[in-house]
Structure 1
């Protein structure tokens, strides 16, 4: 499992969450909402430090991560985060990984 983040998405998080170098952004599992890979659950985002990061991706000095305990949600998929210019929000895609 990996996190792939475009430059535009990283810029959006930086501006919207008032991030500075060294900060951490967690992608986590939320009960409710919708997801193409897990019925009844959705992806949440929060600014917090990791306890047990299962995957960590650094982009422009910001650390994006998923806790080990949330790995089940991704069910063998990598997380791709892009930016939707029209909606001015992140766009999340899940793609089956080779591992």
Structure 2
């Protein structure tokens, strides 16, 4: 199980969310949306300090993480977060 945040995605988040080096971005399971792993659920993002860090990846000075209690969503797979330049949007894939 792993989280990979590609550099262009990290840069986009830093710009859009006003993030600075040392900040933490929590990836959490939320009800609704278009999640590909579990119907009716998707992933959300918020700037928040970790409580019970499960997985993390630090890129461009920002730590992206999931709490222990949300790891079930990944089902022992990898979460890859990238930026689609053509559509100027974030893409989250569990593979």
TM-score by length of structure 1 reads 0.91
Q: Displacement, 1:32?
A: 1.2
Q: How many residues align?
A: 95
Structure 2 residue matching 1:58: 3-state secondary structure: strand
CA deviation string 1:46-95 (max 9, x = no partner): 01011001001111111110000001111121100110112212111111
CA RMSD in angstroms, aligned pairs only: 0.8
Q: Structure 1 stretches (4+) deviating beyond 6 angstroms?
A: none
Question: What TM-score comes out, normalization by structure 2 length?
Answer: 0.95
Aligned to 1:32: 32
Mapped partners of 1:51, 1:58: distance in 2: 17
Where does structure 2 lack aligned partners over 5 or more consecutive residues?
Answer: none
In 1: Cα distance, 2:38 partner to 2:77 partner: 11
